[in-house]
Amino acid sequence: MPSELPSPPATLQVQQRASLREYNTFGLPALAATLVHITSEADVRRVVDHPQYGLARKFILGGGSNVVLTRDIDAVVLKIEIPGLRVVDETAQGWVIEAGAGESWHGAVAWSIDHGIPGLENLALIPGSMGASPVQNIGAYGVELKDRFHSLDAVDLITGRSVTLGAAECRFGYRDSVFKHSGFGGLAGKSVITRVRMFCAKPWQPVLGYLDIERRMAETGIRTPDARTVFEWICAIRRAKLPDPAVIGNAGSFFKNPVVTPEQCKDIIGRDPEIVHYPMPDGSVKLAAGWLIDACGWKGKSVGRAGVYDKQALVLVNRGGASGAEVVTLARAIQESVYGRFGIRLEPEPIIV
């Protein structure tokens, strides 16, 4: 008897010609030829074993807060929706929190604060999903994910095998990790992050050395805020200067803050003494990309229906009905003017598809 190919398991939820507009925080129009909702590790293995999807190219979509979609996607889109939030360990040293990759990052931060676990508060209100947080090594207000990272589980898209990776294997850098690189040793598009674990150390040490936080401390007279207070301050600070993607489409900071040598920085300061810059531990200097873009006069400007947010020049926004191409055209125009004036090439933070 001829052997039959196994039919797709009933539990694999698949949509054909699915709109991705609701699934990217920029609200850009694009279609996925095939979209598979991944709600468990087993779903990833079902995709790997599937007669068509197994060998097809894959595109992994988390919260869609770090992509600019400029075209329809013919790769099989894996929409990661794995749920779950729990404390997996508590010792005298701290807590280990585990989250399914489909949980919202901010939801997990709020959950940890509600459960009396301090440590993630500076990372409140960062858009996107738990599974995307290590890809980007998200960071804000003096804390990066890598500072609270414990480990993650991922499933290999070729073998279907599960692996657990520690921080060293994730090769975290500034808004960077092994999951952003597709060359030799890189894991971009090769494995699906299914669970992420964070470590929140005891005793809690608040990170308060950021200008906006110091300002809140001075305004309120609270010198020793608890984690919930810091959480609420961060939410208020972000709401005041960053657009809510539910209201105005955006992908957070559009460019990375460029890092230059001290000599380059000296040269730029000579010409523009007010430039905002931060010395780094290794002797290099990080420049505020928002300041560079602002200095070139871009704040509030638009190209077509894509624009530069009027309260923070580092954030590009969809003013309503923008296409990915318009966003990319605007980004290129900004890159050219910053290069023309400062000789610095800005590197986009989101992945342009």
Active site residue 253: yes
Least separation, in Å, of the C-beta of 252 and ligand EPU? 2
Nearest to 134 by CA among 169, 110, 183, 109: 169
- Please report whether residue 256 would count as binding ligand EPU according to CB under 6 A: yes
Set 104, 133, 191, 253: catalytic member: 253
Contact with ligand EPU (CB under 6 A) among 28, 69, 165, 314: 314
Report the residue number, 99 or 140, with the smaller CB distance to ligand EPU.
140
Nearest to 335 by CA among 349, 321, 353, 323: 349
Contact with ligand EPU (CB under 6 A) among 34, 194, 257, 318: 257
- Please report whether residue 151 would count as binding ligand EPU according to CB under 6 A: no
State both tokens at 81: 């929706």
Helices in 93-210 by DSSP H: which ranges? 105-114, 133-136, 167-170
The site string for ligand EPU over 262-291 (x = CB under 6 A, - otherwise) reads --------------x-----------x-xx
Report the residue number, 57 or 311, with the smaller CB distance to ligand EPU.
311
Active site residue 336: no
Sole residue written with tokens 């380059």: 264
Report the residue number, 44 or 108, with the smaller CB distance to ligand EPU.
108
Give the residue at shortest CB distance from ligand EPU.
252
Least separation, in Å, of the C-beta of 57 and ligand EPU? 27
Least separation, in Å, of the C-beta of 254 and ligand EPU? 8
Report the residue number, 18 or 306, with the smaller CB distance to ligand EPU.
306
Integer angstrom CA distances of residue 53 from 35, 57, 128, 135, 291: 10, 8, 26, 23, 45
Task: Assign residue 323 a region (left: φ > 0; alpha: ψ between -120 and 50; beta: otherwise).
Answer: beta
Q: Per CB under 6 A, which region of 20-28, 164-172, 214-222, 306-314 contacts ligand EPU?
A: 306-314
Please state, in angstroms and rounded to a whole number, the distance separating the CA atoms of residues 112 and 120. 8
Contact by Cβ (8 Å): 276, 265: no
Least separation, in Å, of the C-beta of 63 and ligand EPU? 12
Please state, in angstroms and rounded to a whole number, the distance separating the CA atoms of residues 132 and 61. 8
Contact by Cβ (8 Å): 272, 295: yes
Least separation, in Å, of the C-beta of 139 and ligand EPU? 6
Least separation, in Å, of the C-beta of 140 and ligand EPU? 4
State both tokens at 70: 């400029």
Active site residue 175: yes
Q: Per CB under 6 A, which region of 180-188, 223-231, 249-257, 260-268 contacts ligand EPU?
A: 249-257
- The backbone torsions φ and ψ at residue 57, rounded to the nearest 5 degrees and listed phi first, read -65, 150
Contact with ligand EPU (CB under 6 A) among 299, 305, 319, 341: 299
Set 45, 148, 171, 175: catalytic member: 175
Nearest to 27 by CA among 247, 350, 249: 249
The site string for ligand EPU over 106-145 (x = CB under 6 A, - otherwise) reads ----------------------------------xx----
Nearest 10 degrees: CA dihedral of 343, 345, 346, 349? Answer: -160
- DSSP letters along 22-39, please? GGSTT----EEEEEEEE-
Which residues of the chain form contacts with ligand EPU (CB under 6 A)?
140-141, 252-253, 256-257, 276, 288, 290-291, 294, 299, 312-314, 349
Catalytic residue list? 175, 253, 349
